[in-house]
Amino acid sequence: VNIASTEPFAGLMPTHQSIGQFEEGLAKDDPAISAGMLYAYAALAAKVPYVNFTPSTTVDIPALMEFADVQGVVIAGKDGKTGQTLYKTVLAPMFQLRNLRVSGWYSTNLLGNDDGYVLSDPAHLQQKVASKLEALAPILGYDDVDHQVDIHYYAPRGDAKEAWDVIDFVGWLGAKMSMRVNWLGQDSILAAPLVVDLARLVWFAQQRGERGPATQLSAFFKTPLNTREHNFFEQTRNLMMYCDSASRRNGGD
Ligand SMILES: NC(=O)c1ccc[n+]([C@@H]2O[C@H](COP(=O)([O-])OP(=O)(O)OC[C@H]3O[C@@H](n4cnc5c(N)ncnc54)[C@H](O)[C@@H]3O)[C@@H](O)[C@H]2O)c1
């Protein structure tokens, strides 16, 4: 399970395109291969299931997706959904189902732990913000929303992350309304049980002979691999159905 600091990413390069090119890159120490990609490659080479709990680009490059398939290894990611995006993907379906048109969603975060410190560097921040922006449009079904996300390193908060959201929406007859959310979470307390469950669930999937992206685990991630399903209720239902069918097949409960 990758839980290292969020890495910068300069975009897809030729080295990332196929496992052949990636291995050539490895041989010549290509700087386009990040530490996160190297760890992912090592896990796949050892046929060990791999989870990316961070927003860093690691196994989700064409070369390593191909390698996961060739090696028959289960992979999952990316970026644990533990706080703001968790409640965003719970609230957004409500607006969508009630036909309340979201015009703007401003999300800010105050974070004072080491993760927050690393993210105060714009190069490291970029992939985190991209990941936090992902969920809204696929749930709402439209993307003309002024969706903004920022993260501030604010040392006094420590691991107690504070998130603020302002949601502007329009109802019947064009009436304008607004909602405020204030989340006071404990970052590591929210993340650690998910990491334990993920380790058990990818191992279980591997034992069942699955390979490649474990889409049944989308509820755990801000940017789930190989699926556009972001609605937390649908994601959880998919996981329940998966567990149900797996336990039936195993003849147990
Ligand atoms: N609620 C959460 O805690 C949460 C939720 C979603 C995603 N994440 C992601 O999980 C990651 C870790 O978060 P954290 O709060 O534990 O951060 P942290 O700063 O407390 O821990 C990160 C650790 O990774 C180590 N590290 C950095 N580069 C490394 C490398 N190349 N190899 C091995 N270790 C390396 C650092 O030394 C540090 O010990 C971050 O990417 C974060 O965005 C955390």
DSSP 91-142: HHHHHHHTT-EEEEEEEEEEE-SHHHHHHTSHHHHHHHHHHHHSSHHHHHT-
Provide block-wise average pLDDT over 10 residues at a time, the chain (253 residues): 95 97 98 98 98 97 98 97 97 98 97 92 90 93 96 94 97 98 97 98 96 97 96 98 88 60
Per-residue confidence (pLDDT) for residue 252, from 0 to 100: 58
Per-residue confidence (pLDDT) for residue 131, from 0 to 100: 86
Per-residue confidence (pLDDT) for residue 249, from 0 to 100: 75
Nearest residue (CA) to ligand 1, atom 29: 4
Distance 115 CA to ligand 1 centre (A): 6
Distance 227 CA to ligand 1 centre (A): 24
Residues with CB under 6 A from ligand 1: 3-6, 35, 53-55, 79-80, 82, 113-115, 118, 128, 187-188, 190-191
Per-residue confidence (pLDDT) for residue 247, from 0 to 100: 84
Alpha carbon distance, N-terminus to C-terminus of the chain: 28
